[in-house]
Chain A
Amino acid sequence: MKRASLSASVLAASAAAAGIWWNAGAAAQQPPQASQPTPADEVNRLPELPKTPSASSTAQPVSVQWVQLAKPYPSDFRAERPLVRAGWLMVVRADTALLTPRSLAEPLLLAAGDGWTTSVEWMQHGHTSGHRVCFIPWVGDAQPSGSPELRGSSESIKERANLRGLRIWFGTPELPERVDAAMLARERALAQTSGLQPTPADRMPAASADLTLADRDALVGRMRQLAAQWCPAEVEAEVEAKVEAQAPEGAR
């Protein structure tokens, strides 16, 4: 059991190394097929972590949806724990070597747009399929002295959080709970110097209809639903069943 999923990730890693993961075609979105486990027990099958950030340590959005929350929640992915009221729910595709779970620090998943940079939230790693379900919380452009509190109407917020020139990438390995505004600024600068490019407009998927959810529970439910669709091997059966039963109305 342990070895089968691994082989899938190894295969996916190989595919990624060949550049297949970057292609947005439908075929590339299918989960990789499991290969036979090899007998070479001496080989560590954790793929080596690529250098991050780099020009190629990017993630490609394949699904995008604006989400507004009736009740905010504090983000666990920032040291300041700012309140989150809205954001972009995304599925991104990336090199499985970057997605593979590690006990040590994993590359931060970061996103930046027109005047904002943020630490992206996620739950499933996505290494089994090459897809990660994530949420780009809109907390304002929380610079060191900035207020994380969201202000303005839904439409105006969405406009400020627009995805023009979106960069979504894997940064320096670190625990997300230790990310603060200063670190975000450094990571943005590092990304720029590493030659990391914005996602081309023609590669951005069309956004799904906006979604309004009650709270974080509902958001998590929606993320689990997407995970069951995009990286099913990483969703525990019991959780999947529960999510199916409790999914918010707007998410079905």
Chain B
Amino acid sequence: MSYRLPSLSAFVISCSAYGQCAEDLNNDGTVDALDLAEVLVSWGQAAGGDVNGDGAVDGTDLAAVVSAWGASCPVGPPKEVKLACQSIAVAPFASFVQTFTVGSAVRVGIDPALTPVTAGGVADVWVVANRTAAEWAANNVLQDVRGTAQAITLGSTLAANLFELTGGTTLSGDGNLAVGRGYDLVVDINRDGRLGAGDLIDGGGDTAGLWIARDPTASGPLQVTTLSSYTASGATSGFTTSRLWYPTTIASLGQRPLVVISHGNGHQYTWYDYLGTHLASWGFIVISHQNNTVPGIETASTTTLQHTSAIIAQQSTVAGGAINGRIDVSRIGWIGHSRGGEGIVRAYDRIFDNTYTPTGYGLSNIKFLCSIAPTDFLGVNSANPHAANFMLLWGSADGDVSGIPTNTVTWSFNLAERCTGFRNTVYVHGADHNDFNCCGTNDFQGPTGTAISNAGAQAVAKAFILAALKYHLESETALGEFLWRPSSSLRPPGVSSAFTVVKEVVPAASANVRTIDNFQTQTGTSTSSSGGSVVSTVTNISEAFARDTDSTYTWSTGNPHNGSIRATSTDTQRMVAWDWSVSAGMTWDLLPALRDLSTWNFVQVRVGQGTRHPNTVTLNGGATFTWVLQDAQGNVSKVSSGASGEAVNRPYQRTGSGTGAGWQNELRTVQLRLRDFKSVNPLIDLSRIASVRMEVGGSSGSTTGRFVIDDLQFVKE
């Protein structure tokens, strides 16, 4: 996962002369009455005036302040902290994020437990057009895009320090070809109008602290020219026709990424105008080609490969040469639907396996694959995205590639599970197979009143495909938050709030990902894949292949992974499943080498409800749990999964494939910032976390339920 990467190197260099006294609690350069007041206000608590950092404000702290009374104490450099946030209903009452949509309320949050400030003091909040670290080093004069800074009076708790930005709902998201625009947030503690010592900044590095995004379902800023058809040289006979969309002003845009759309069986290349036009309006060059899907996946993959080569080779002549020299061959995205969705993965696999050598581009140029409701005819050895960036988009009401347990060809999730690169899934309730094109058969299968129609599904497709393309091909990393934050936290305005959109993300293995348990090794339930011990008090625990083995979605104890359709008999994807009806939990001990989380940002897990399990049926709604971190000294911090924004949703209530209601197990990524644990309990020592626990039942969440779980990880921004 590529998160924001704050860089404070400029500050470190320019401010290296600064030191800081612990007794100067408000960081104003002098140990004085304000610091004494801070000690007294927080007396007996675990924050504020804790000079020696022992977790309690007491006589020792008071003595330290008195001892240093009057000392001139150079203040520290500006402090990089997360400030942009949303308020939430549960502790810690704020969720710190980067991306907001235009018109949303934006808040600045300051947690005194993490960033000591003087309660009662007044500071100014500045919203500054995004500057790089170098730009900040060269110019620290604050200039608020709203006209004037906003004065705030600081409180002694995070809840008291949540300030809605005045004029925040009118901040512009116009980033030209970028979907959004970046800003840096500054809390000017000494109110001198400059970013300086003791101030707080969110976005002091090269990346913006706050990103205001336009609606990714809406058309972009560019006019689009459509070439209704052209003939691709070298493509299979009968499948040479393609449609082209490009920005009308492409001559002034420089080189732009190429997106290739490969349709499904019985579909036509003319059925994706909605997507081609949309993407071109945001600056992409897009083609949709005839696809040779009838013989099968191999032939379909060949047409994808051929048409990609053809548009590169023919750019000087197609559309009168309008796109000549404008295709950035190093940034190619493939989108395929149905058999075409498997076809693009097969095409990538063929290049990866060196069984096909395309002309004009290579494997490293394919930066993104998006399969919409793909089939899986070929299996793990041939339909494998390997380390590509991969997105799966699928509807729960698909009556064609349906996800029935009796036919693994319909298990679209297989492809995502095989990916070892960055992968994310978007599973949309109520969308059918042909909702993602204009004109295919209505194959909807689902409960009455849940259909979201072509318009609804295509809004979802436009939003998430655009976000992923901008994320992977144009480094607009802030849009990545659309891919993993729940809809209640960040929703494209053009996607109805009534829609259930279930999202997963799994980052590629890297130094920024620490996997505690992915259940692939150490397959017993008492040891994690990272080697630590696992203790569980849950019931009916099973760690096994993510495979429904009895051809029906009816629950049975002999099929503990009922509803999991993510691994064929030749796949190796494993998960754990368990249930509860009293207080219970699963605790992962961290090996000593994995315990320092002080520089890590998130804890996350993929979790879904076990479909049609009696507990799931009884719960009949969203499921919640509590994250519990415990440090080596026994300090505990608990945060509800609800702080992420949404409960783990009930499976889509589709019937068939056995008795009862509920379709396949829908996993979603539940992610929390580690700082949230510090906010809830400042004593927790993130540098020495001994265990992480998912706690259920009782006061910890839903009273009953069954979970399917995978990929417990810590990740960095």
User: Contact residues of A with B, CB < 8 Å?
Assistant: 1-3, 5-6, 9, 41-46, 73, 76-77, 100-106, 122-123, 125, 127, 175-178, 215-217, 219-220, 223-224, 234, 236-239, 242
Contact = CB atoms under 8 A, between A and B. Distances in A.
Given A44-B444, A46-B399, A239-B241, A105 B409 contact: yes
Contacts of B649: none
Contacts of A238: 228-229, 241, 243, 270
28 contacts: A1-B439, A2-B434, A2-B454, A5-B439, A5-B441, A42-B445, A43-B444, A44-B442, A44-B445, A73-B237, A76-B292, A76-B299, A103-B264, A103-B266, A103-B338, A103-B339, A104-B400, A104-B409, A104-B410, A123-B238, A175-B297, A176-B295, A215-B237, A220-B238, A236-B241, A236-B270, A236-B290, A242-B229
A104 B401 contact: yes
Nearest to A220: B238
B433 to A, nearest CB: 7
A44 to B, nearest CB: 4
Please indicate which of the listed interface residues A104, A216, A224 has the most CB atoms of chain B within 10 Å of its own CB: A104
B451 interface: yes
Nearest to A127: B266
A122 B294 contact: yes
A41 B453 CA distance: 9
A6 B444 CA distance: 12
Contact of B296 (A73, A127, A177): A177
Contacts of B231: 242
B205 interface: no
A123 B241 CA distance: 14
Given A103-B265, A175-B297, A6 B441 contact: yes
Contacts of B619: none
Contacts of A177: 295-299
B551 to A, nearest CB: 16
Interface in B128-145: none
B438 interface: yes
Contacts of B290: 236, 239
B269 interface: yes
B557 interface: no
Contacts of B266: 100-103, 125, 127
A168 B339 CA distance: 26
Given A76-B299, A125-B266, A104 B438 contact: no
A112 to B, nearest CB: 20
B446 A42 contact: yes
A180 to B, nearest CB: 13
A166 B130 CA distance: 74
B399 A224 contact: no
Contacts of B434: 2
B377 A175 contact: yes
Interface residues of B, number: 49
B229 A44 contact: no
Contacts of B296: 175-178
A239 B438 CA distance: 18
Contact of A100 (B407, B438, B441): B441
A76 B238 CA distance: 12
A31 B236 CA distance: 30
A76 B433 CA distance: 26
A176 B447 CA distance: 35
A234 B294 CA distance: 14
| Top 7 A-B pairs, shortest CB-CB distance | A101-B266, A175-B296, A238-B229, A177-B296, A220-B238, A44-B399, A177-B295
Contacts of A105: 377, 409
Given A5-B439, A42-B447, A103 B454 contact: no
B375 interface: yes
Task: Summarize B's interface: helix, strand, loop or mixed.
Answer: loop
A123 B123 CA distance: 70
B657 to A, nearest CB: 13
Contacts of B634: none
B439 A103 contact: no
B596 to A, nearest CB: 48
Interface string B354-389: 000000000000000000010101000000000000
Contacts of B407: 104
Interface in B279-306: 290, 292, 294-299
B268 interface: yes
B206 interface: no
Of B236, B241, B265, B448, most buried by chain A (CB within 10 Å of CB) is: B265
B53 interface: no
Give the residue among A1, A101, A122 with the most B Cβ atoms within 10 A.
Answer: A101
B398 to A, nearest CB: 9
B238 A103 contact: no
Contacts of B377: 105, 175
B174 interface: no
B646 interface: no
Given A104-B401, A216-B237, A242-B231, A236 B268 contact: yes
Contact of A176 (B294, B440, B442): B294
Contacts of B375: 103-104
Point out which of B241, B268, B399, B442 has the most chain A C-beta atoms below 10 A from its C-beta: B442
A7 B294 CA distance: 23
B442 A6 contact: yes
Nearest to A3: B442
Interface in B209-247: 228-229, 231, 236-238, 241, 243
B571 interface: no
A176 B377 CA distance: 12
A172 B241 CA distance: 31
Interface string B460-477: 000000000000000000
B443 interface: yes
Nearest to B444: A41
A167 B375 CA distance: 31
Contacts of B270: 236-238
Contact of A242 (B237, B241, B243, B339): B241
B400 A76 contact: no
A104 B398 CA distance: 12
A127 B441 CA distance: 11
Given A103-B338, A104-B401, A45 B299 contact: no
Contacts of A216: 237-238
Contacts of B440: 2, 101
Nearest to B227: A238
Nearest to B230: A238
Given A41-B451, A46-B400, A175-B295, A103 B241 contact: no
A219 B237 CA distance: 9
A171 B266 CA distance: 19
> Which of the listed residues B295, B400, B401 has the most CB atoms from chain A within 10 Å of its own CB?
B295
Nearest to B337: A103
Of B243, B296, B444, B451, the most chain A CB neighbours within 10 A belong to: B296
Given A104-B375, A238-B241, 19 more contacts: A43-B444, A45-B441, A76-B236, A101-B440, A102-B266, A103-B375, A103-B401, A106-B265, A123-B294, A125-B294, A177-B296, A216-B237, A224-B238, A236-B229, A236-B241, A236-B290, A239-B229, A239-B290, A242-B231
